[in-house]
Amino acid sequence: MVDVGFYLNRARHLFGKQPPDEAARRLHRLALAHLNDDSGRRIARLYRIFVYDAPPADWKGHTPIGRQAMDLAASATARWRHAFHDALRGMRKVALRLGEIPTSNLRWQLKAESLKDLTNGRRRWENLADEDFQLDLRQKGVDMRLGLDIASLAYKQQVNQIVLISGDADFVPAAKLARREGIDFILDPMWATIRPDLYEHIDGLRTVAPRPPAKGTTAEPAATPPG
Amino acid at site 119: T
Q: What does the pLDDT read at residue 106? A: 87
Q: What does the pLDDT read at residue 216? A: 53
Q: Is residue 214 part of a domain?
A: no
Q: Are residues 83 and 128 in the same domain?
A: no
Q: What does the pLDDT read at residue 224? A: 41
**Strand pairing class (184-188; 161-165):** parallel
- pLDDT of residue 199 exceeding 90: no
Q: Are residues 130 and 198 in the same domain?
A: no
- What CA–CA distance (Å, rounded) separates 182 from 208? 24
Q: What does the pLDDT read at residue 196? A: 81
Q: Say how many domains are in the chain.
A: 2
Nearest CA to 15 among 223, 215, 186, 212?
Answer: 212
Q: Is residue 111 part of a domain?
A: yes
Q: Is residue 166 part of a domain?
A: yes
Q: Is residue 221 part of a domain?
A: no
Average pLDDT of every residue of the chain: 91
Q: Is residue 82 part of a domain?
A: yes
- What CA–CA distance (Å, rounded) separates 87 from 12? 18
3-state secondary structure of 79: helix
Q: What does the pLDDT read at residue 223? A: 39
Q: Does pTM surpass 0.85? A: yes
18 or 225, greater pLDDT: 18
Q: Are residues 72 and 173 in the same domain?
A: yes
Q: Are residues 53 and 153 in the same domain?
A: yes
High-pLDDT (> 90) share of the chain, %? 81
Nearest CA to 8 among 19, 119, 220?
Answer: 19
**Strand pairing class (49-53; 2-3):** parallel
Q: Are residues 126 and 162 in the same domain?
A: no
Distances in Å between the alpha carbon of 219 and those of 40, 160, 206?
Answer: 18, 32, 17
Q: Are residues 37 and 48 in the same domain?
A: yes
Distances in Å between the alpha carbon of 183 and those of 104, 146, 190, 206?
Answer: 40, 15, 21, 16
Render pLDDT for 104-154 as a digit per residue (tens, 0 to 9).
888 999 999 999 999 999 999 999 999 999 999 989 999 999 999 999 999
Confidence of residue 215 (pLDDT cuts 50, 70, 90): low
Q: Are residues 9 and 94 in the same domain?
A: yes
Q: Are residues 75 and 171 in the same domain?
A: yes
128 or 222, greater pLDDT: 128
Render pLDDT for 36-67 as a digit per residue (tens, 0 to 9).
998 999 999 999 999 999 999 999 999 999 99
Q: How many other CB atoms sit within 10 Å of the CB of residue 181?
A: 14
Domain that holds residue 132: 102-136
Confidence of residue 169 (pLDDT cuts 50, 70, 90): confident
3-state secondary structure of 2: strand
CATH of the domain at 94: 3.40.50
- pLDDT of residue 221 exceeding 70: no
- pLDDT of residue 225 exceeding 50: no
Instruction: Return phi, psi of residue 210, to 5°.
Output: -60, 140
Q: What does the pLDDT read at residue 35? A: 97
Measured between its terminal Cα atoms, the distance across the chain in Å is 20
